[in-house]
Structure 1
Amino acid sequence: MADAEAEVEADRFSSLPFKIKICILAHLKIKDAVRTSALARSWRNLWTHLPCLNLCNRRDRLRGKWTQRAYHLVSSLQGPLHYFQLDYYRQNPVPHEDSVLLQSLLDLLPQKGGVEKLDLIFDTKPLEKICLPSFHSLYVLNLSGCHVVLPTGFQGFRRLKTLSMHSVGICNDELNLLVRTSKNLTSLVISKCHSWANPLSVELSLPFLRHLEFYIIYQNSFEKALVVSAPCLKQAVIGLKHFRSQNSAQMMLRLVTSVTTAYSLKLSFDVLRCFSLVALPFNFTFPCLRCLTFPLNMDANKQMCDVFLWLLRSMPFLEELQAKSQSFYDYQAERVTILMKDLLVKKHDGFACLEGTLTSVTIYTYCMDVNNSIAIIQFFLLNAKVLKLLKIHTSASVVQSMIEELQKAEVTSSHAKVMISDDMSNEYYLYDWN
């Protein structure tokens, strides 16, 4: 009786509709999906119809044969394949036969139907060289840790919406060709990219671009980066690391001031530090900007204070501001405190956002001296006339001293409320100073 019931249950399982079976397989690891071929005749080679395939060799014990097995899996697929991810890791240089198989594997993908999303993640040294095949249905392309070459006669990915490149080696002509032919891009990420020959230079003219991330880390990797036209741009993230030269400062200033249609802007500390090396365009404004995120560190010099004030002055309609503190050497703490009290903790005129739009300020002060934190907080309490909420995230050890100091602060906005949140998840509120 029990055997008969089990057989009935097995029949019910096997009689499931094709789409439901595929949905079940899609939630399994690929090796488990392949094993389902042994369940019953109706499940045999069912995995070859998977619309999504994720191949990763990071935890594979048989790493030496992994590339051959990966190629066999892809060649066995009957399609259509909509999403493919390849995560390839190797500490030593990739053997020539593995490189050939990996390239052959990629060349097979367009034959498996309309690939819509492609993630190619490599963790190899030197970077693995790949030639991107032509995909007619590609919507999302994520590249990481590889050296990219475009095929001869490349016509672009005309349906591409999202392009992300992290630590990618690519020559200047091919980078511009890739971006220029992707006219439908709505999201573009260029992070830590470089060329082995001349520095990269790119001008972006993308009519539908809404999200842009541009992060430069390699010395002399970029000579020019500029947004020529992006009328739909809403969010921009721009970062730089360890560059303090005049050339890099001029380049970053031109890039930042070219994102004039952005609603939200996030900047790294080294971008601001670069700005302190060049003359700032004081007649410049961000007419659409409403949200700003930037690192908070005056770096013990007047130029950094000037950059901070320039940002506020150039954003007349700013509504939300997030400032995250950066650590500095202890011996600078006293100099920074004196500098900020001298330049910031006083009335400032001519700031349109402080006069009429800035209602929300969030400050993270974990890496900052308590006196310096209070000086910055006092600046906003004193100058932001329509401020409604000032959030402070700090360490529990300094909360009490901060509350005592802020209770003495002069507050301009009649609606201002201060919320202090510590690293122990406690919250404290200050309001009605008057």
Structure 2
Amino acid sequence: MAEAEASVDRISFLPFELKVSILSCLRIDDAVRTSALSRSWRYIWTHLPCLRLDSLRDPLCNTCDDHAVSSSWVQRVHRLVSSLRGPLLVFELHFYDHSFVLYDECVFIVQSLLDLLLQKGGVESLHLSFFNATAIIHLPCFHSLRELVLSACHVALPTGFRGFHRLETLSMFLVRISNDDLNLLLRTSNNLTSLDIENCGFLENPLSVNLSLPLLRHLEFTIDELVENFSVVSSPCLEHAGITIRYDSTDYSSQNLAQMVMRQVTSVAMVSSLILNFDVLKCLSLVVLPFNFTIPQLRFLMFYLNVNTMDRRVYDAFFWLLRSMPLLKELEVELERTTDYDQADRVPILMRELLVKKHDGFACLERTVTSVTIYTSWLDVIASIAWIQFFLLNAKGLKLLKIDYSSGDDRIPRFIGELQKEEVTSSDAKVMFFNRATCQITNLRTNDSN
């Protein structure tokens, strides 16, 4: 009796929707093979709502430097999509061509593949990656599209493009796109809530964007050689902004670049969350800072600092930012160190001179800042402790100061010894050392030490 029950094929009697859900967890090749299991499984895979294809993970396409193999793989993808019977909601295509060129035949098939997706309708999420491809792909107007992710490809908008009116998320990385096409895409995507643009455009036609999106909440933008201007004109719902500067050159002394960074920082004045990489402060230090500028809704700030390259002007930019955030509650600082040993001795002396003293004019430190986290790879007693002392001395309402590090455990006793000597403004302040490599925690209540 037990043997008879064991031989019953219960999985074949599962509801159709559950079978489709099971196949959705398999690689597409394995899902297709289930057609050979039995008549009840035949062509179940053609109703998959999600299709994710990657030439690097396909064993039949591990020599994509061969023109024939590349073309054959793209054709096979086209046949797969043509075989689908149900609506395709999610489509991801990652095509890595080792020759770094999409051949004309492949371009034609990819373009016809996108047109086929348009005919099927219903696509809500589209991810396209072509990795160093130079051929132009024209984006059809997917009316149901809610998420668009483009990576390492060259795209253009077709004539008469009217926009993705349901688009909520747009992410573009290493995308060659004209300034006119990008602005048209943004202008006709009024439902965008998340936007991430990095390394996009052309050197001969740099991007100039004045953003006006009524529903935008999350913005990530990278300023590099491909960007001439970027600012937020009107996005009243914007909550988070991340500003990054990435130039191949290490020279950030350009006044034009500094002015652009200044415009971008001041144009996101209504955000509640802000992330800045360390070159933002360096650029801000080159312009005259208007001390009447405020970010009145900001509650969370994270910024990166290159300890070895800091000078007095960078500190001035940091102080200006801190003064402009009257309601800041959470602050995270990531300290980065380079191998610039020429300044290794000078910078800590400057840090102690500028930081380790009582400062006035910081409304957020007087009233609202309760949590500060300092990230550092190496627990540097000289460089890191100056920042710890600054916040302990100036943040009246501080509850938790967390030092998140990955090495330097042997310096913890010296840190604690140094901190026990310091004046602490907040009686409730607690200092926590967290080693992310070992998950070890060392706590210190400053009111117990005084």
1:61 alignment counterpart:
59
**2 CA distance for matches of 1:427 and 1:24?**
42
Could you list the per-position Cα deviations for residues 77-130 of structure 1 after superposition, in whole angstroms to 9, with x for gaps in the alignment?
12211111111111212222112111111111012231111111222x344431
The residue number in structure 2 matching 1:133 is 140
C-alpha deviation, 1:5, in angstroms: 5.8
Give the secondary-structure state (helix, strand or coil) at the position aligned to 2:267: coil
How far does residue 230 in structure 1 lie from its aligned partner after superposition?
1.0
User: 1:196 and 1:248 mapped to 2: Cα distance?
Assistant: 15
Alignment of structure 1 residues 96-107 onto 2, 5 Å: 96-107=104-115
Q: What do the CA deviations read for 1:295-336 (whole angstroms, capped 9, x no partner)?
A: 133524111111111111111111110000111322312211
**Contact 1:77–1:112 under 8 Å retained in 2:** no
CA distance in 1, matches of 2:2, 2:439: 56
Query: Residue 295 of structure 1 corresponds to which residue in structure 2?
Result: 304
Map Cα deviations across residues 230-287 of structure 1 (whole Å, 9 max, x no partner): 1111111110123612111111110111111211100011111111111112110000
State the partner residue of 1:233: 238
Q: How does 1:16-55 map to 2 (within 5 A)?
A: 16-55=14-53
In the aligned structure 2, how far is the partner of 1:165 from the partner of 1:300? 32
1:291 Cα shift? 0.5
Cα contact 2:133–2:154 (8 A) shared by 1? no
**Cα contact 1:161–1:184 (8 A) shared by 2:** yes
Which of 398, 401, 421 aligns to 1:390? It is 401
* Aligned partner letter, 2:374: I
Q: Secondary structure at the match of 2:175?
A: coil
- What SS is found at the alignment partner of 1:280? coil
After TM superposition, the score normalised by the length of structure 2 is 0.91
Looking at structure 1, the residues matched to 40 and 376 of structure 2 have their Cα atoms a distance apart, in angstroms, of 61
151-160 or 369-378, larger mean C-alpha shift: 369-378
- Give the letter aligned to residue 211 of structure 1: H
SS at match of 1:307: helix
Change (3 A) 1:233 1:382: same
Deviates more, 1:103-112 or 1:363-372: 363-372
Taking the aligned partners of 1:68 and 1:281, their CA distance within structure 2 comes to 58
Structure 2 distance, partners of 1:387, 1:5, is 65
Residue 390 (structure 2) pairs with residue 379 (structure 1): yes
Q: Hey, what's the Cα distance between the residues in 1 that align with 2:182 and 2:205? A: 13
Counterpart pick for 1:353 among 364, 369, 374:
364
Tell me if the contact between 1:128 and 1:145 (Cα under 8 Å) persists in the aligned partners.
Answer: no
Does structure 2 retain, via aligned residues, the 8 Å contact 1:325–1:367?
no
Q: Is the 8 A contact 1:327 1:368 kept in 2?
A: no
Helix, strand or coil at the partner of 1:165: strand
Q: Give identity over the alignment, percent.
A: 58
> What's the secondary structure of 2:59's corresponding residue?
coil
Can you list the C-alpha shifts for 1:356-411, whole angstroms capped at 9, x where unaligned?
01111111132573211111111111111111111112331321221111111111
Secondary structure at 2:345 match in 1: helix
Give the alignment partner of residue 149 of structure 1, picking from 113, 138, 156. 156
Q: What is the rounded CA distance, in whole Å, between the counterparts of 1:160 and 1:172 in structure 2?
A: 19
| Secondary structure at 2:57 match in 1 | coil
**Worse-superposed segment, 222-231 or 87-96:** 87-96
Deviation at 1:212, TM superposition (A): 0.5
Aligned residue in 1 for 2:124? 116
Counterpart check, 1:223 vs 2:228: yes
Per the alignment, residue 252 of structure 1 pairs with: 261
- Runs of 4+ in structure 1 off by over 6 angstroms are 1-4
C-alpha separation in 1, matches of 2:418 and 2:321: 27
Query: Take 1:197 and 1:236, find their aligned partners in 2: how far apart are those partners?
Result: 27
In structure 1, what is the Cα distance between the partners aligned to 2:367 and 2:155? 49
Amino acid corresponding to residue 231 of structure 1 in structure 2: P
C-alpha contact (below 8 Å) 1:333/1:369 kept by paired residues: no
Q: CA deviation at 1:42?
A: 2.6
Q: 1:96 is aligned with what amino acid? A: D
Output the CA distance in 2 between the equivalents of 1:279 and 1:397.
Answer: 43
Distance 1:73 1:126, change over 3 A: closer
State which of 312, 320, 331 in structure 2 corresponds to 1:310: 320
Distance in 2, Cα, partners of 1:68 & 1:222: 37
Query: How many residue pairs align between the two structures?
Result: 429
